[in-house]
A and B are shown apart, each in its own frame.
Chain A
Amino acid sequence: MGVNPQGDSFRRNLGRIFGTYTGGLVAFVILLAVLEQLGLPDSLIGYLFVAATFAVYAGIGIVARTVSLSDYYVAGRRVPAVYNGMATAADWISGASFVGMAGTLYVLGYDGLAFVVGWSGGFILVATLIAPYLRKLGAYTVPDFLGARFGGNIARLVGIIVLLACSFTYVVAQIYSTGLIASRFLGISFEFAVYVGLGGILFCSLFGGMRAVTWTQVAQYIVLIIAYMLPVLILSAQKYGFPIAQLTYGRALQEIAGREQEMVATGLASGEVLKSYIEPFTSLDRTNFFALIACLMIGTASLPHLLMRFFTTSSVRQTRRSVGWSLLFIALLYVTAPAYAAFAKLEVYQNVIGASLDALPEWIYTYGRLGLVDVCGISATTADAVRAACAEIPGHGGVLRLGDFSIDRDVVLIATPEIAGLPYVIAGLVAAGGLAASISTADGLLLAIANTLSHDVYYRMVDRKAPSSRRLVIARFLLLAAAAVAAWAASTRPADILSIVAWAFSLAAAGNFPALVLGIWWKRCTSAGAVAGMVAGFGVTLYYLVMTQYFGMPEWFGVNNISAAVFGLPVGFAVTIAVSLVTRKPSAETEALVDAMRRPSGDPVMGERSS
Chain B
Amino acid sequence: MARRKSPKARGETAWWGRTRRLMIITLVLWAIAGFGLQAFVEPLDAITIAGFPLGYAAASHGALAAFVIIAFWFAARQERIDAEAGFAEPEDDTDELTEDQQTWA
Residues of A within 8 A of B (CB): 8, 11, 67-71, 76-78, 80, 110, 113, 116-118, 120-121, 123-125, 127-129, 132, 138, 246-247, 249-254, 278-280, 289-290, 293-294, 297, 314-318, 320-321, 323-324, 327-328, 331, 334-335, 338, 467-469, 472, 521, 595, 598-601, 603-604, 607-609
Apart from A254-B48, A595-B12, what are 9 other A-B pairs with CB-CB below 8 Å?
Answer: A78-B101, A117-B59, A124-B34, A124-B74, A127-B74, A280-B45, A320-B78, A335-B61, A600-B87
User: When chains A and B are docked, how far (Å) is the Cα of A123 from the Cα of B93?
Assistant: 23
A334, B64: Cβ atoms closer than 8 Å? yes
B34, A297: Cβ atoms closer than 8 Å? yes
Nearest residue (CB) in A for B24 is A128
Nearest residue (CB) in B for A117 is B63
Which residues of chain A are near B105, meaning CB under 8 Å? 67-68, 467-469, 472
Min CB distance A158 to B, Å, is 26
B60, A113: Cβ atoms closer than 8 Å? yes
Which residues of chain A are near B23, meaning CB under 8 Å? 128-129
User: When chains A and B are docked, how far (Å) is the Cα of A252 from the Cα of B56?
Assistant: 13
A121, B30: Cβ atoms closer than 8 Å? yes
Which residues of chain A are near B12, meaning CB under 8 Å? 595, 599
Min CB distance A102 to B, Å, is 12
B26, A601: Cβ atoms closer than 8 Å? no
Nearest residue (CB) in A for B89 is A315
Per DSSP, chain A at the interface is: helix
Which residues of chain B are near A599, meaning CB under 8 Å? 12, 87
Q: A78-B94, A116-B64, A129-B23 are in contact. Are A280 and B50 (CB under 8 A)?
A: no
A253, B52: Cβ atoms closer than 8 Å? yes
What are 16 pairs between A and B in contact, CB < 8 Å?
A: A68-B101, A71-B101, A77-B100, A110-B41, A113-B56, A116-B63, A116-B64, A246-B61, A290-B38, A318-B93, A320-B78, A335-B64, A601-B86, A604-B100, A607-B99, A609-B99
Among B38, B71, B93, which residue has its beta carbon within 8 angstroms of that of A317? B93
Which residues of chain A are near B72, meaning CB under 8 Å? 321, 324
Which residues of chain B are near A609, meaning CB under 8 Å? 99-100
Min CB distance B64 to A, Å, is 4
A598, B16: Cβ atoms closer than 8 Å? yes
A123, B59: Cβ atoms closer than 8 Å? no
A290, B35: Cβ atoms closer than 8 Å? yes
Which residues of chain B are near A11, meaning CB under 8 Å? 94-95
Q: A321-B75, A468-B105 are in contact. Are A608 and B100 (CB under 8 A)?
A: yes
Q: A247-B50, A250-B51 are in contact. Are A607 and B101 (CB under 8 A)?
A: no
Which residues of chain B are near A76, meaning CB under 8 Å? 101
Residues of B within 8 A of A (CB): 12, 16, 19-20, 22-23, 26-27, 30, 33-35, 38-39, 41-42, 45, 48-53, 55-57, 59-61, 63-65, 67-68, 70-72, 74-75, 78-79, 82, 86-89, 93-105
Nearest residue (CB) in A for B57 is A250
- Output the residue of B41, B79, B97 with the most chain A CB within 10 A: B41
User: When chains A and B are docked, how far (Å) is the Cα of A467 from the Cα of B19?
Assistant: 40
- Output the residue of A113, A118, A321, A468 with the most chain B CB within 10 A: A113
Which residues of chain A are near B35, meaning CB under 8 Å? 290, 293-294
Which residues of chain A are near B57, meaning CB under 8 Å? 250
Min CB distance A138 to B, Å, is 8
Q: A113-B60, A321-B72, A469-B105 are in contact. Are A314 and B78 (CB under 8 A)?
A: no
A320, B104: Cβ atoms closer than 8 Å? no
Among B16, B70, B102, which residue has its beta carbon within 8 angstroms of that of A68? B102
A324, B89: Cβ atoms closer than 8 Å? no
B96, A121: Cβ atoms closer than 8 Å? no
Min CB distance B58 to A, Å, is 9
Which residues of chain B are near A254, meaning CB under 8 Å? 48, 51
A121, B101: Cβ atoms closer than 8 Å? no
Which residues of chain A are near B71, meaning CB under 8 Å? 123-124, 127, 323-324, 327
Among A69, A120, A320, which residue has its beta carbon within 8 angstroms of that of B67? A120
B87, A121: Cβ atoms closer than 8 Å? no
User: When chains A and B are docked, how far (Å) is the Cα of A34 from the Cα of B71?
Assistant: 43
User: When chains A and B are docked, how far (Å) is the Cα of A294 from the Cα of B35?
Assistant: 9
Min CB distance B6 to A, Å, is 13
Which residues of chain B are near A317, meaning CB under 8 Å? 75, 79, 82, 88-89, 93
User: When chains A and B are docked, how far (Å) is the Cα of A70 from the Cα of B76?
Assistant: 28
Nearest residue (CB) in B for A140 is B100
Which residues of chain A are near B87, meaning CB under 8 Å? 599-601
User: When chains A and B are docked, how far (Å) is the Cα of A237 from the Cα of B51?
Assistant: 17
A314, B38: Cβ atoms closer than 8 Å? no
- Output the residue of A78, A128, A316, A324 with the most chain B CB within 10 A: A128
Which residues of chain B are near A127, meaning CB under 8 Å? 26, 71, 74-75
B68, A338: Cβ atoms closer than 8 Å? no
